[in-house]
Amino acid sequence: MGFALLDEFTPRLDEDDSVKEILSKKQLPEQCGISHSASSPPQPKSIILGFSKGGILLNQILTELAHFNSNSSRFTRRSTTNDTDSVSECFPISKDSFLHSISEIHYIDVGLNCSGAYITNLDVIKNITSDDPSSSFRIVLHGTPRQWCDKDRPWIKKEKDKLLQILKDEAQTSNGRLEVVERFYFANMATSLHMHFEIIKELNTS
Chain segment 66-119, per-residue pLDDT in tens:
988 887 644 444 433 344 444 455 677 788 888 888 999 999 999 999 999 999
Containing structural domain, residue 102? 4-202
Q: Which ranges of 102-182 would DSSP assign to H, the alpha helix?
A: 122-126, 145-148, 154-172
Report the percent of the chain where pLDDT is more than 90: 52
How many domains does the structure of the chain reveal?
A: 1
Q: What is the C-alpha end-to-end distance of the chain, expressed in Å?
A: 32
Q: Which residues contact 133 (CB under 8 A, 6 or more apart)?
A: 175, 177
Q: What is the mean pLDDT of the chain?
A: 79
Q: Is the pLDDT of residue 39 over 60?
A: no
H-helix or E-strand containing 48?
Answer: strand 46-51
Report phi then psi at 78, rounded to 5.
-70, 145
* Distance separating alpha carbons of residues 12 and 9, to the nearest angstrom: 10
182: left (phi over 0), alpha (psi -120 to 50) or beta: beta
- Position 117: which residue type? A
pLDDT for 129 equals 84
Task: Give the integer Cα–Cα distance in Å for 129 and 177.
Answer: 7
Count of positions (residues) in the chain: 206
Q: What is the pLDDT of residues 175-202, one digit of tens each?
A: 889 999 999 999 999 999 999 999 999 9
